[in-house]
């Protein structure tokens, strides 16, 4: 957590209001942001009122909202103090209520939140900087999506906000159920969605789930816990987020959470300060525990019931995202790569690939990420012909290279390189995305990687691993600066249940003794 004194330094010059500064710093400290995140936030949000930092907050499930009205008011005050300019939109879609009652709800909510009601979605001001509810100044504004409004009207409204006010940073949806249900998490919420890669998959998954529920192919209890209305709402919100984020800059973020989560652990404030989810999407999921004992709060048991959902996993963060390209060729040739040294070119006839691995760009990102230049030929001498997979994020903004390494019982999958361009570290969840891809694609195999014992990211690695081995302890008198991490999914093979002691040692020796391929 960032220190109080550091924050005083960061906030110098933003305000002379001592109470405001104290409350402001307290909010940041409670969100456990890092020093870099605090600096990035203060660079982005202008607390002196010179910049619009607009967040559109869409309020669904009005009856649930009214049960959490005090918490919502308190959180809106915090957002205002953090430099956010919230625009409120009430989406009153209760079918059993008449038009008069819905209109009454609109005025009731706007009064509760001290908002000025707007007559139409068509009107968006050209200047907007509301002040805290306990100060004199411009009030927040609230719109209503009524029965006559279509989805196109809503999208045009979002376009106008971005056009007139210039900086739509966040689209936040608050409702009773929280984020987008995800089959792989036992229909609990997605944590982070890279929309470019996951939108179509998630939409099909929800469409299929809806058909199942409507055809009553699931038991009554499950249908009640994760019913038709929940899936329909999730589909609406998923499509809305996809259309909206496609209109906005890459830096804009969507967030869907529940009123209960907002009240308990404040995912909205956390995201304003860090631009990420409360928990990483690459942390373990679906662990088969008979009881809660020994289970981390972010791990979801496969028999986890929806009514017992922890509010920590009711939030989905969404980004327009980045393209993910997977290369699965075991051997690199001139047909599937660019920049391959001549000694590795084959005389065999081959078919040119439409997408080729660019070794020149690969060298650049490795140099930028590790601060050292790769000796490409030395590296290819070891890995070419033994490649399991290469993951490329965007235009070589992130890279993961996985190889097969031999030991006395065969081959094991080894994460050889993981790199992210320095200016993108901590943003867009690039490392998380690569780990999710790896975990999804190793199936029932074991994945291992090594890291220097003094590496500051070892805690992060440990959270994503099944276990770790000190490679200094394998052979007496043979020192090593590395620690080995290993992972398998819940149904996969664990090294210590499938391998004997000597095979584990053989595997560890192979990983320990891999020679680096840096230019000297």
Q: State the residue for tokens 């209760």.
A: 94
Lowest mean pLDDT among 210-214, 300-304, 328-332: 300-304
Identical fold between 50-267+308-319 and 324-512: no
Q: What is the pLDDT of residues 162-197, one digit of tens each?
A: 899 877 999 999 999 999 999 888 888 999 999 999
Per-residue buried b or exposed e for 303-337, using 16+ beta carbons within 10 Å of the residue's own CB: ebebeebebbbbbbbbbbbbebeebebeebbebbb
Q: What are phi and psi of 159, to 5 degrees?
A: -60, -45
Question: Cβ–Cβ contacts within 10 Å for residue 127, how many?
Answer: 8
Strand pairing category for 140-144 and 192-194 = unpaired
Could you give the CA distance from residue 501 to residue 373 in angstroms, rounded to a whole number?
A: 37
Instruction: Please list, in sequence order, all residues whose beta carbon lies within 8 angstroms of the beta carbon of residue 337, skipping any fewer than 6 positions away.
Output: 356, 357, 358, 359
Asked whether the predicted pLDDT for residue 321 surpasses 60, the reply is: yes
State which of 92-96, 278-282, 454-458 shows the largest mean pLDDT: 454-458
Q: What is the pLDDT of residues 111-126, one digit of tens each?
A: 999 999 998 888 998 8
Asked whether the predicted pLDDT for residue 268 surpasses 80, the reply is: yes
Instruction: From 38, 25, 466, select the one nearest 275 (Cα to Cα).
Output: 38
| pTM, to two decimals | 0.84
Instruction: From 367, 385, 387, select the one nearest 376 (Cα to Cα).
Output: 367
Q: Fold for domain 324-512?
A: Aminopeptidase (3.40.630)
Per-residue model confidence (pLDDT) at position 309: 53
Q: What percent of the chain has pLDDT over 90?
A: 53
Lowest mean pLDDT among 133-147, 270-284, 449-463: 133-147
Out of 3.40.50, 3.40.1160, 3.90.380, 1.10.260, which CATH number does the structure's domain 50-267+308-319 have?
A: 3.40.1160
How wide is the angle at C-alpha 304 spanned by C-alphas 313 and 211, nearest 5°?
Answer: 85
Query: Is residue 68 within 8 Å of 260, Cβ to Cβ?
Result: yes
Instruction: From 272, 354, 359, 381, select the one nearest 317 (Cα to Cα).
Output: 272
Collapsing DSSP to helix, strand or coil, 302 comes out as coil
Instruction: Please list, in sequence order, all residues whose beta carbon lies within 8 angstroms of the beta carbon of residue 308, skipping any fewer than 6 positions away.
Output: none
Q: Which two tokens stand for residue 246?
A: 């496609």
Length of the chain counted residue by residue: 520
DSSP codes of every residue in 413-481 = EEEEEEEE-GGGTTSTTHHHHHHHHHHHHSTTS-EEEEEETT-TTHHHHHHTSSEEEEGGGSSTT---S
Q: Which two tokens stand for residue 449?
A: 């990687």
pLDDT tier for residue 313 given thresholds of 50, 70 and 90: confident
Per-residue model confidence (pLDDT) at position 227: 81
pLDDT tier for residue 303 given thresholds of 50, 70 and 90: very low
Q: What is the pLDDT of residues 343-396, one digit of tens each?
A: 999 888 888 899 999 999 999 999 999 999 999 999 999 999 999 999 999 999
What is the DSSP secondary structure assignment for residue 130, as one 8-state letter? -
Per-residue model confidence (pLDDT) at position 222: 56
Sign of CA dihedral 74, 80, 82, 87: positive
Helices (H), ranges, 266-398: 267-274, 359-370, 376-383
Q: What are phi and psi of 383, to 5 degrees?
A: -95, -25
Each domain of the chain, given as residue ranges in start order, spans: 50-267+308-319, 324-512
Q: What is the pLDDT of residues 57-111, one digit of tens each?
A: 999 999 899 999 999 999 998 898 888 999 999 987 666 567 788 888 889 999 9
Q: Which two tokens stand for residue 254?
A: 């969507």
Work out the average pLDDT over 194-223.
83
Q: What is the pLDDT of residues 484-502, one digit of tens each?
A: 999 987 665 667 677 888 9
pLDDT tier for residue 409 given thresholds of 50, 70 and 90: confident
Per-residue model confidence (pLDDT) at position 290: 40
Looking at every residue in the chain, the average pLDDT score rounds to: 84
Instruction: From 366, 437, 359, 440, select the one nearest 398 (Cα to Cα).
Output: 366
Is the model more confident about 179 or about 294? 179
Sign of CA dihedral 44, 50, 56, 59: positive
Could you give the CA distance from residue 362 to residue 397 in angstroms, rounded to a whole number?
A: 10
pLDDT tier for residue 308 given thresholds of 50, 70 and 90: very low
Q: What is the pLDDT of residues 413-454, one digit of tens each?
A: 999 999 999 888 766 689 999 999 999 898 888 899 999 999
């Amino acid at each position: 957590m960032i220190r109080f004194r550091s924050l005083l330094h960061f906030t110098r010059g933003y305000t002379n209001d001592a109470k405001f500064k104290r409350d402001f710093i307290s909010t940041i400290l409670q969100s456990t942001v890092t020093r870099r995140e605090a600096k990035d936030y203060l660079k982005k949000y202008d607390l002196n009122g010179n910049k619009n930092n607009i967040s559109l907050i869409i309020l669904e499930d009005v009856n649930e909202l009214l049960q959490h009205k005090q918490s919502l008011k308190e959180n809106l005050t915090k957002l205002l103090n953090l430099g956010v300019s919230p625009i409120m939109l009430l989406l009153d879609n209760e079918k059993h209520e008449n038009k008069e009652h819905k209109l009454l709800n609109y005025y009731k909510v706007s009064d509760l939140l001290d908002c000025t009601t707007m007559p139409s979605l068509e009107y968006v001001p050209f200047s907007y900087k509301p002040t805290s509810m306990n100060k004199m100044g411009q009030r927040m504004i609230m719109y209503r999506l009524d029965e006559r409004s279509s989805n196109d009207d809503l999208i045009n409204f979002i376009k106008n906000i971005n056009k007139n006010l210039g900086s739509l940073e966040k689209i936040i949806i608050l409702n009773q159920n929280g984020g987008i249900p995800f089959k792989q998490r036992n229909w609990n919420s997605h944590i982070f969605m890279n929309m470019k890669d996951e939108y179509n998959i998630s939409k099909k998954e929800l469409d299929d789930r809806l058909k199942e529920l409507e055809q009553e192919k699931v038991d009554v209890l499950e249908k009640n816990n994760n019913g038709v209305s929940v899936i329909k709402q999730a589909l609406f919100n998923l499509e809305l987020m996809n259309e909206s984020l496609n209109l906005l800059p890459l830096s804009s973020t969507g967030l869907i959470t529940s009123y209960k989560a907002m009240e308990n652990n404040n995912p909205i404030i956390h995201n304003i300060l860090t631009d990420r989810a409360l928990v990483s999407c690459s942390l373990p999921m679906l662990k088969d525990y008979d009881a809660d004992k020994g289970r981390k709060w972010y791990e979801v048991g496969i028999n986890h019931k929806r009514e017992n959902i922890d509010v920590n996993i009711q939030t989905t963060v969404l980004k327009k995202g980045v393209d993910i390209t997977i290369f699965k060729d075991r051997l690199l040739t001139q047909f599937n790569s660019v920049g391959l040294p001549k000694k590795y070119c084959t005389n065999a006839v081959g078919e040119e690939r439409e997408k080729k691995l660019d070794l020149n760009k690969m060298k650049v990102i490795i140099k930028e990420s590790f601060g050292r230049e790769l000796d490409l030929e030395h590296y290819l001498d070891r890995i070419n012909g033994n490649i399991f997979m290469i993951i490329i994020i965007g235009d070589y903004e992130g890279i993961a290279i996985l190889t097969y390494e031999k030991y006395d019982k065969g081959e094991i999958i080894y994460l050889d390189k993981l790199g992210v361009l320095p200016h993108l570290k901590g943003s867009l969840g690039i490392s998380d995305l690569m780990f999710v891809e790896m975990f999804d694609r190793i199936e029932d195999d074991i994945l291992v990687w090594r890291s220097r014992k003094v590496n500051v990211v070892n805690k992060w690695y440990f959270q994503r691993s099944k276990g770790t081995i000190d490679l200094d302890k394998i052979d007496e008198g043979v020192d090593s600066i590395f620690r080995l991490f290993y992972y398998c999914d819940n149904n996969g093979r664990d090294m210590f249940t499938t391998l004997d002691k000597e095979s584990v040692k053989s595997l560890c020796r192979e990983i320990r003794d891999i020679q680096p391929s840096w230019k000297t």
